[in-house]
Amino acid sequence: MTDHEELYSRAKELKRFDDTKTGVKGLVDSGLNTIPPIFVHPPETLSDLKPDPKARPVSIPVINLAGFGSPPRRAEVVDKVTRAAREHGFFQIVNHGIPAAKLDRTIAAVKAFHEGPAEVKARLYRRDAGAGVTYMSNVDLYQSKAASWRDTLTVRLGPDPPVTGELPEVCREALVEWDGEVIRLGAVVMELLEEGLGLRAGRYRELTCLEGRIMVGHYYPRCPQPDLTVGLASHADPGVLTVLLQDHMGGLQVKTGGQWVDVKPVPGAIVINVGDLLQIMTNDQYKSVEHRVVANQSEEPRVSIGVFLNPGKREETYGPLPELISSNKPAAYQQFTFSEFMRRFFTKELDGKSLKNFFRI
* pLDDT tens, residue by residue, 132-152: 999 999 999 998 889 999 999
Q: Tell whether 23 is covered by a domain.
A: yes
**CATH code where residue 152 lies:** 2.60.120.330
- pLDDT band, residue 131 (cuts 50/70/90): confident
Residue 354, in any domain of the structure: no
Domain that holds residue 285: 3-312
Sheet holding 252-256, edge to edge: 230-235, 291-294, 252-256, 259-262
Look at residue 101 and tell me if it is in a domain.
yes
Query: What mean pLDDT value characterizes the chain?
Result: 92
Model confidence over 43-62: pLDDT tens digits? Answer: 888 888 876 677 777 889 99
Please check whether residue 324 lies inside any domain of the structure. Answer: no
45 in a structural domain: yes
Alpha-carbon separation of residue 63 from 73, 84, 113, 173, 352 (angstroms): 12, 9, 31, 29, 28
Q: Is residue 298 part of a domain?
A: yes
The structure's pTM equals: 0.94
Rounded to a whole number, what is the largest CA-CA distance in the chain? 68
Between CA 325 and CA 323 the distance in angstroms is 6
Number of structural domains (the chain) is 1
Assess whether pLDDT exceeds 60 at residue 77. Answer: yes
C-alpha separations of 23 from 30, 87, 139, 254, 260 in Å:
11, 37, 12, 26, 28
Q: Which is more confidently placed, 130 or 91? A: 91
In a domain, 63, yes or no: yes
User: With bands split at pLDDT 50, 70 and 90, how would you rate the model's confidence at 348?
Assistant: low
Amino acid at site 267: P
| Chain centroid, CA 65 distance in Å | 22
Q: Indicate whether 230 pLDDT > 90.
A: yes
Q: Is residue 194 part of a domain?
A: yes
